[in-house]
Structure 1
Amino acid sequence: MAEVGFNQLCNWLRFRHLVLIDTLARTQNMHTTALEMNISQPAVSKMLREAEKQLGFALFHRLPRSMSPTDLGSHVARYAQIALNDARHFIGQVNHLQQGGHGLLKVGTIFAPTSVALPAAIVGVKQRWPLLTLEILEGTSANLLSMLEHKELDLVIARFTLDRHRQLFDFQALAPEPLCLVTGSQHPLAGARHLPLAELGSWPWIVYPTGTPMRARLERAFAEAGMQTPDNTVETISLQTTLQLLQTSPMVAMLAESMVEPDIQAGRLTRLALPFPLVLADYGIITRRNETPGWSAQALIEELRSGADALRSARQSPR
């Protein structure tokens, strides 16, 4: 198998080849790929043969009913997806600038920063560049980091969930995330001076999905208390769904204090009196390693860090 040279790749590789590889890896079907690309099936076959000839290895297994990527083909398909997402972002930025805007910044965030840190940073950035468009996507750390890796986001405010993330991304800590147990204000446990830990597992719970830091912290808290994790659960990352369930049914949830403080102050939720603290590791700004963030991402990062510094100073100053 001959090695592929960079100059050789630049001389023949076109975006149409990347579209072909990305589409075929996604559909695993030659006919569907031809329809999506609006070309004939023989043209798809010809382009694929050209790509494989230039690379020197097969990209897809030819199976009777599907075309799954080979091991090397999966690597090439991942590159194709990243390159195409990068190109789409570039075209979107250029078009936005042509129309008089100041570009587009795509930000992924877990829920805790959306209560104070991120909105304050957005206000600061928009005061300086009012025509900059910010697109904000909420989700779990794992999903957001996958999108960041594939260049579907410019930066993420989250925390690492896998060891390999530490090799792929840079991390700037912003703030810890204190947690609390909450119920609806009408729950039988609401207002209890001493929380009967042994009873907690018997109530229905609203929990984050398996694999999320919030779920891992909940399971650890039960293990530390020598208790089984509840079996009667609803799994969701939707804050709106969680708040509605807490207010209309006898359920319990572990959530970030910043997310539920307004509802606690308004009397809609009650914080349970825990005998031990619940804190998650710091969330922070995550960017792709060995890639300098653009000017708009840098501007948001500066605002986020400034806000985090101010919050730390306020907490440390004597009252």
Structure 2
Amino acid sequence: MINPINPQNTNPNWFLRARLKTRQLLLLIALDEQRNIHRAADELHMTQPAASKQLKDLEDMLDVKLFERLPRGMEPTIYGESMIRHARMALTSLSLAHEDIVALKSGLSGQVSIGAIMSPGMALLPRAIARVKQAAPQMRIGVEVETSNILLERLKRGSLDFLIARILEDDSGAELQYEELADEPVCVVTRVGHPFEHADALSLATIARAAWVLPPNGSVLRHRCDMMFRSAGLAPPDNVVDTTALLLILSLLLHTDSLHLMPLEVARYYAQLNILSIVPIEVPVKMDGFGIITRRNHLLSPSAALVLDAIRTAGAELYRTQS
């Protein structure tokens, strides 16, 4: 009888029956990185014949070829690429499990790894983490602040528990689950004391002639910035430094009369510290909304679930206040 959930009637726990070895998973990753059986074997302190046998056993077990043997090395097949991706996720999960056990033995409350884009990383996460630390002061919380595309890859590999980021069009399928938190409006910022700081009735034509620090061409924000000026019948600024490096952006703003488009939450943070000033002009530009991104059908640890609840609570407070 054919199982409708498993139409090929294969054992869902085939890896138990086949006695899949952690060593074979490590070999897959080494081969992907080295693309050479000799170097991969050396990396794992194995002999080349032993590595070749383990790879053959795995290919026989799966009944597919995982690597093409080429004159100058090895190249993963489509099956190999899929197996390598899952091998990385499995080994990452085992590593995180070990870290959790070590943390629990040490009397800690577990470990959570979060990815966030800059705006919620500076406003939302500090509130949520402060709330969690009151209840579980010894919980180990790691935060990586990066762009959404980089964070999404790390989430898929299993190196992050969840994200506060933007979902991308290519990642809107069944593998990920998205829960929107807020939009991300942007504003124009400059140094404190800039002539525009207290100007009345600034226009797009005026700021178009200024010097700017902007993301590079091809980025979403740069495209929307250029379209803002073009829609008003203006040429986009031509006196521009292209960069996304925050420290360089801040330094350029502090030492020149340049303008910059920045998420409003981040700009408010720097304005409170009297580092930057928000230019009094409303710009019809905003980034797409961001939210909580998790892997569908992936069970979060109790520690990760606790942090996620704190983020939802802090998000409801923060974004309701700002709306």
Query: CA-to-partner distance for each residue in 1:154-181, whole Å, 9 max, x for gaps?
Result: 0101111224334322122222222111
Assess if the C-alpha contact under 8 Å between 1:190 and 1:272 holds in 2.
yes
**What residue number does 1:305 align with?**
312
TM-score, normalised on structure 1? 0.87
Matched length? 314
Q: Match of 2:53, as an amino acid? A: K
Superposition deviation, residue 133 in structure 1: 0.4
Q: Match of 1:170, as an amino acid? A: Q
C-alpha spacing 1:166/1:214, structure 2 compared with 1 (3 Å): farther
**What residue number does 1:255 align with?**
262
User: Helix, strand or coil for the counterpart of 2:73?
Assistant: coil
Distance 1:36 1:265 in 2: 51
Superposition deviation, residue 117 in structure 1: 1.4
User: Helix, strand or coil for the counterpart of 2:134?
Assistant: helix
Query: CA-to-partner distance for each residue in 1:90-121, whole Å, 9 max, x for gaps?
Result: 11111211222111100011111123211111
Superposition deviation, residue 315 in structure 1: 4.7
**What residue number does 1:161 align with?**
168
TM-score, normalised on structure 2? 0.86
Assess if the C-alpha contact under 8 Å between 1:141 and 1:212 holds in 2.
no
Assess if the C-alpha contact under 8 Å between 1:208 and 1:214 holds in 2.
yes
2:17 to 11, 22, 25: 11
Q: How does 1:236-275 map to 2 (within 5 A)?
A: 236=244, 238-275=245-282
Distance 1:226 1:60 in 2: 55
Q: Does 1:172 align with 2:183?
A: no
Q: Does 1:113 align with 2:146?
A: no
Q: How does 1:78-117 map to 2 (within 5 A)?
A: 78-117=85-124
**What residue number does 1:279 align with?**
286
C-alpha spacing 1:151/1:229, structure 2 compared with 1 (3 Å): farther
**What residue number does 2:51 align with?**
44
Query: CA-to-partner distance for each residue in 1:41-93, whole Å, 9 max, x for gaps?
Result: 22221211111122112111111222111111111111111111111111111
Assess if the C-alpha contact under 8 Å between 2:204 and 2:229 holds in 1.
no
C-alpha spacing 1:204/1:56, structure 2 compared with 1 (3 Å): farther
Query: CA-to-partner distance for each residue in 1:168-215, whole Å, 9 max, x for gaps?
Result: 221222222221111223556554434453464555533345665544
Distance 1:187 1:27 in 2: 53
C-alpha spacing 1:8/1:181, structure 2 compared with 1 (3 Å): same
**Could you list the runs of 5+ residues in structure 1 that have no partner in the other structure?**
none
Distance 2:144 2:294 in 1: 15
**What residue number does 2:34 align with?**
27
**Could you list the runs of 5+ residues in structure 2 that have no partner in the other structure?**
1-7
Distance 1:107 1:11 in 2: 35
**What residue number does 1:235 align with?**
243
Compare 107-116 and 208-217 and name the one that shifted more. 208-217
Query: CA-to-partner distance for each residue in 1:23-54, whole Å, 9 max, x for gaps?
Result: 21122122321222111222221211111122
Q: Match of 1:292, as an amino acid? A: L
Identity, % of aligned positions: 32
**Structural RMSD (CA):** 2.6
Distance 1:27 1:225 in 2: 53
2:212 to 180, 188, 205: 205
Superposition deviation, residue 224 in structure 1: 3.1
Assess if the C-alpha contact under 8 Å between 1:191 and 1:270 holds in 2.
no
Q: Does 1:59 align with 2:71?
A: no
